[in-house]
Amino acid sequence: MNAVAYAQKGWWVMPLKKQSKEPCKFLRHGYLDASGDLKTVAKWFEDTDLNIGLAIKQSSLVVLDFDKRNAVSKQEWQNYYEWCVKLNTHTVQTDDGYHFYFKADPGLQFKGKLANGIDIKHKGYVVLPPSIHPNGTQYTVINDVEPVQLPDGLMKAMTW
């Protein structure tokens, strides 16, 4: 999928530097300058080597960012991972883990972490496939379905 296809889904995207998580310099306000406008996105991504960023809150999403290297309790990490897999939502394999995408009300106030090794991404952005991680690995969609609505049980664990 390319940046325009993401924008067609209603997701707000932004260009990131090649093989980087850093926004392009012409974005004066970083993820706050992301757009869902197809013409703007097409113009930004004329350079097909750019990575793609997703402005999460503007896209009415929340992303659980699972990183194996930061997990203190492997069992707790595994339990949440298995729960998310069972929810059958949009999932991306990252360099060291997974991003699970959920539809969420942009007005919700989320904690920063669900557990050690599981960050809650809402304000800000994440890197989208087929972008290339700084170490050379590619972000890959491993469950190509629409994000599901954030379930109540998970929302209670993630919000203040």
Q: Which residues contact 28 (CB under 8 A, 6 or more apart)?
A: none
Give the tens place of pLDDT for each residue, 105-159.
999 999 999 999 999 999 999 999 999 999 999 999 999 999 999 999 999 999 9
* Residue 85 CA: distances (Å) to CA of 38, 47, 68, 76, 89: 31, 34, 16, 14, 7
Give the tens place of pLDDT for each residue, 83-102.
999 999 999 999 999 999 99
Q: Which residues contact 36 (CB under 8 A, 6 or more apart)?
A: 7, 10, 11, 12, 13, 58, 59
- Strand 97-103 relative to strand 148-149, pairing: parallel
Predicted TM-score (pTM) of the model is 0.96
